[in-house]
Amino acid sequence: MKALNGLVISGREVLPLVEGGKGISVSNGESSGAWAACHGVGTFSGVNADSYDELGAPIPQDYHGRTRRERHEELIRYAIAGGIQQARVAYERSGGCGPIHMNVLWEMAAAERILNGVLEGARGLVNGVTCGAGMPYRIAEICARYGVHYYPIVSSTRAFRALWKRAYHKFRDWLGSVRKRS
């Protein structure tokens, strides 16, 4: 078996192994932290991530708002709280060994607010943001503001060219890599 050579991702030398960031609590703080502890890149899903109580039980996401707008605001609060908690769990589980990334879907409702909220609340714990689903023009600006690398997933070279011309060239130092959606 041939040994793997390290490479730098999100400012850290790691093995070229990246956990996915699958939603519905498949990739959470526990799994991404374990991945990072083994010197890979751990990626938790930032799409409506779970929060836990003091005993470790998931907090149900019950909605009490009377209007659609009120329930939407509750969803955003749950998403931010869950993302922050998953980042903390991942960081603690990793022992600070490897980079922790967050995966977001740009086309999900309130993606910018949720991303800002999680990066603010988990400042220094998240090293990178992977983002697909749409044309995430503002991800570069948001990530640069928090000193976090960004990793867009694009559908084509043409889409990346548009993103580069409109926004990414201004924040090139924080662009970690680009992945073409298959």
- pLDDT, one tens digit per residue, over 143-166 is 999 999 998 888 888 888 888 898
* pLDDT, mean over the chain: 83
pLDDT of residue 84: 94
pLDDT at 141: 94
Which domains does the chain possess? 14-180 (3.20.20.70)
3-state secondary structure of 31: helix
The whole-number pLDDT of residue 25 equals 60
Other CB atoms closer than 10 Å to residue 13's CB: what's the count? 12
State residue 153's pLDDT score. Answer: 84
- 167 versus 108: the higher-pLDDT residue is 167
In sequence order, what are the residues at sequence separation of 6 or more whose Cβ sits closer than 8 angstroms to the Cβ of residue 161?
A: none
Query: Quick one: the chain helix, strand, coil %, rounded to 5?
Result: 40, 20, 40
Running DSSP on this structure, what letter comes out for residue 18?
B
Give residue 140's pLDDT band: very low, low, confident or very high (50, 70, 90): very high
Q: Give residue-wise pLDDT tens across range 71-124.
A: 888 888 988 999 999 999 999 998 888 789 998 888 777 888 999 999 999 999
Q: Report the distance separating Cα 10 and Cα 50, nearest Å.
A: 25
Q: Which residue has the tokens 């689903």?
A: 133
- List the beta bridge partners of residue 149: 128
Query: Considering the entire predicted model, what is its pTM?
Result: 0.83
Q: How far apart are the first and last CA of the chain?
A: 29
Residue type at position 22: K
- The runs of H, that is alpha helices, within the chain are 29-37, 68-94, 111-121, 139-146, 157-166
